[in-house]
Amino acid sequence: MCGIVGYTGSKNCSSILFEGLSKLEYRGYDSAGITVIENSKAITIKAQGKLSNLKPELDKSGFTGTCGIGHTRWATHGKPSVENAHPHTSGRVTVVHNGIIENYVELKSHLISTGRIFSSETDTEIIAHLIDIGLSKGKTPLEAIAACTVSLKGTWALGILIDGYSDTLWAARNQSPLILGTSSGENFIASDIPAIMSLTNSVIFPEDNEIIEVSPDKISIFNEQLEEIRRTPQTILWNPVTAEKGGYKHFMLKEISEQPRALSDTIAGRITSEDLIYFDGIELPLNIKRVLIIACGTSYYAGLIGKYMIENTARIPVEVDFASEFRYRNPVLDANTLIISISQSGETADTLAAVKEARKSGAFTLSISNVINSQIPRVSSSSFYTHAGPEIGVASTKAFTCQLGALFMTAVHLGIKTGSLEQKEAIRLVGELRTIPSKMHSIIDQGAQIKVIARRYMSSTGFLYIARGLNYPIALEGALKLKEISYIHAEGYPAGEMKHGPIALIDENLPVVSIVPKNGYYQKVVSNLEEVRARGGKIIAIATRGDSEIADIATDLFQIPDTDPLLEPLLTVIPVQLLAYYISDFKGTDVDQPRNLAKSVTVE
Ligand code: AGP
């Protein structure tokens, strides 16, 4: 996610802004910039890459101004570059933004048709233009900002400067994080508490669709009708490390909890208000006869789910291969094969090599990645970016569910292209996808139930995860999550395979985690669980809310909302993520940096 800071007071603001941005480095970024009002005019410096690249610009800037804004960019629209770095200026207005403007394409083309000139590929720049247009029509800053935000669809946290106002800045928020810091004779805005916690611990949290005017002695908050709202500052007593994790004990737990927002951001800008998918910028070839998905680890399990999705919607055969196997097995490929690579980091060596190998055959390669301009997207024919934001915990969580969202949208898109999916059905599926973030929230809100279950089984020396169909890869993923952060051995298995060997393992010392939602496989999985129970096995069942039958079979039960079978994995994965997290936390392992593992495996 991008990071925003702003300051107005009596001090030279440039070093305060730079310090604030450095405290947001954990959010990940690929460029940075600062704007300061000097003699009533906004002066901007920017640099690509690490924040340290901005320091020489800052040292030679000679800034003395006391009001300014700063930004670290995690690219979502437009490659990492100085031109695309924030802040962005149009006329008298300079803006920094964290979030995604879903309707920026139509707004930008309208603005261009009115003669507006753009200097970046970002969605943010349209905001500066819209506010500048409002001012040129005689609106006050607040009126111009309100008129702008009313026309936006999507998410935003904004910092705004206007030439001629030497000690005032403005802010606005809708769904993206923004806080206001208060102190005597100076005030702050920031994306997150770490940016300002060395300067004040008195913080106000604005709500969605609010606009804020900040001067050295006053913070005024308004709704979109510009009615003033009173809000009392809160005192934050976090230490710096806790603050970076947003108050969570580990980044992994924070990232599990961020999944609704991450999925919403990944969906935003890819579905229209009529619930149609639009794949602008991703021109898939016409004559796709076969799909081959290549990935590693958790991303490979996402690929297994993508197989079920695409074969169900597009009726095209899909194979899924470990990248480390694919690259050496002399695969049979041709121009009718669509290669989909999945990689959170976009840097995994095996996947990168596999994509390069695949391209030699002339196959079209689509990368699904979470890092704009990382190596795998750069060597691919086209890229579908997830917008999970930086994933710090080594164990992948929010990136995984965003990969599933991207695969689902690709499956619906392919289904329409091949004619095997009716428009009406496609709209129904996309409509159901829209409900997933709130269903995720309801599961995360019940996390304490998983914590109780984790406490009960934390001393087990092995686990078996079983499921069928689209949830079989979630059994694999759940086992991997547990293994990689708790160091307890676990195995995922198709439930139908129990009788071919694994049932010999069953006794009261081997807990069986079963993903058993009410879908077409339900009765089959219940029969497998009966066999487990008959042999004294303990069952931790993840089932659909309202399912009373499973309660008689399971030793422990966690229930999740119902959804379309193709979308179930986006929900069933959350309890297994939480189970692995809590067991590991109880065991005291290094949850965010487990032994022997790296976040991105850039070596063979
Ligand atoms: C997942 O929890 C692991 N950290 C690991 O399996 C990871 O998914 C794998 O290394 C692939 O990484 P990538 O998605 O960045 O390519």
For ligand 1, the distance from its centroid to the CA atom of residue 298, given in whole angstroms, is: 5
Q: Does 289 fall in a domain?
A: yes
> Do 416 and 465 lie in a common domain?
no
Q: What is the pLDDT of residue 82?
A: 92
> Do 286 and 237 lie in a common domain?
no
Q: What is the pLDDT of residue 597?
A: 84
> Do 467 and 402 lie in a common domain?
no
- Give backbone dihedrals phi and psi of 367, rounded to 5 degrees, phi first: -105, 140
Q: What is the pLDDT of residue 282?
A: 87
> Do 569 and 533 lie in a common domain?
yes
CATH number of the domain encompassing residue 107: 3.60.20.10
> Do 459 and 317 lie in a common domain?
no
> Do 261 and 315 lie in a common domain?
yes
Q: Does 365 fall in a domain?
A: yes
User: What is the residue with the minimal CA distance to atom 9 of ligand 1?
Assistant: 297
CATH number of the domain encompassing residue 562: 3.40.50.10490
Q: Does 438 fall in a domain?
A: no
Give every residue of the chain whose pLDDT is below 70, as ranges: none
The beta strands (E) that lie in 245-380 are given as 290-295, 318-322, 337-343, 364-369
Q: What is the pLDDT of residue 362?
A: 86
> Do 403 and 314 lie in a common domain?
yes
For ligand 1, the distance from its centroid to the CA atom of residue 72, given in whole angstroms, is: 25
Q: What is the pLDDT of residue 206?
A: 94
> Do 469 and 548 lie in a common domain?
yes
Pocket test for ligand 1, best of 250, 256, 296 (most atoms within 8 A of CB): 296
Residue that terminates a domain, selected from 383, 400, 433: 433
Pocket test for ligand 1, best of 251, 259, 298 (most atoms within 8 A of CB): 298
**Residue ranges around ligand 1 (CB below 6 Å):** 296-299, 343-345, 348, 351, 394-396, 484, 600-601
Q: Does 594 fall in a domain?
A: no
> Do 129 and 265 lie in a common domain?
no
- Give backbone dihedrals phi and psi of 187, rounded to 5 degrees, phi first: -140, 160
Number of domains in the chain: 3
| Helix/strand/coil for 323 | helix
Q: What is the pLDDT of residue 483?
A: 98
Q: In what order do the strands lie in the sheet with 156-162?
A: 88-90, 93-98, 156-162, 169-174, 210-215, 218-222, 228-229
> Do 87 and 57 lie in a common domain?
yes
Q: Does 593 fall in a domain?
A: no
- Give backbone dihedrals phi and psi of 526, rounded to 5 degrees, phi first: -60, -40
Q: What is the pLDDT of residue 158?
A: 98
Catalytic residue positions, numbered: 2, 599
Q: Does 28 fall in a domain?
A: yes
Report DSSP letters for 367-431, one per residue.
EEESSTT-HHHHTSSEEEE-------SSS--HHHHHHHHHHHHHHHHHHHHHT-S-HHHHHHHHH
> Do 260 and 405 lie in a common domain?
yes
Residue that terminates a domain, selected from 216, 244, 272: 244
> Do 161 and 274 lie in a common domain?
no
User: What is the residue with the minimal CA distance to atom 2 of ligand 1?
Assistant: 395
By residue range, what is the domain housing residue 363?
Answer: 254-433
